[in-house]
Copies of this chain bind each other. A is one copy, B any other.
């Protein structure tokens, strides 16, 4: 039972966890977040996520009010207090209570715990569809809380039966609203954007394990390449790796999850087990 959140280092019953309305997240949508899963009581790839919180904060000129080591301790204390073995953790760092409603002040730090999302098996077995959208995220390399485009498009995405929205610009594919995107070419080369994106931790781990088995090109795949791609997939903290079989009207490969995607998912599952066994 998840009973607590952490607000500026204090464990608070989650129904009472709140921020004053002058916080810059509420006033101006200014803040950052990160999200990772807890497996067998352990935050998965913990160090990488803590590092990314630091990087995002630096990028957005927000000061983390505690050290990375203290952040680690606050997160572990929350996990212990709630006692869940399997969960999701979200860290939010906001612009703080802004006297003028605009300029960042001392950040508020929120740590939330929630049940891990459960995806139907069918999405992994049959693959999912994405909806394309011509857009390139503002400051993609910082994990800001700015999701205006993705949330604005939700009704359209749901009407299209799409799992997520795929951002492309000038024919080049960047990422989805909440995941990194990959194609597998006919020669099994893996292609994924190397810049202009949020550098996902799952993306990083995927590239580390994949490079021993496949050629990798870190450059933006094009919309044109989608038509001749053998496979496609997305990576994210909650999904690890999910096959993509359609983007708008374009069917990827034979419309079924492919063998490279399956192989990579197995490699990632093994990497997760390896991490949990040594940490």
Contact = CB atoms under 8 A, between A and B. Distances in A.
Interface of A: 5, 7, 15, 17-31, 33, 60-61, 90, 92, 94-95, 100-104, 110, 112, 114, 117, 135, 138-139, 144-152, 154-155
A135 B137 CA distance: 12
Given A139-B148, A148-B146, A26 B23 contact: yes
A137 to B, nearest CB: 9
14 contacts: A17-B21, A18-B19, A18-B20, A24-B151, A25-B26, A26-B92, A26-B94, A26-B145, A27-B92, A28-B146, A102-B154, A103-B154, A104-B151, A146-B148
Given A20-B17, A92-B21, A30 B101 contact: no
A276 B126 CA distance: 64
Contacts of A152: 60-61, 139
A12 to B, nearest CB: 9
Contacts of A28: 145-147, 151
Q: Which interface residue of A23, A100, A114, A148 has the most chain B CB atoms within 10 A?
A: A148
A53 to B, nearest CB: 16
A106 B118 CA distance: 24
Given A21-B112, A28-B146, 8 more contacts: A22-B112, A29-B30, A29-B31, A30-B147, A90-B101, A104-B151, A139-B152, A144-B148
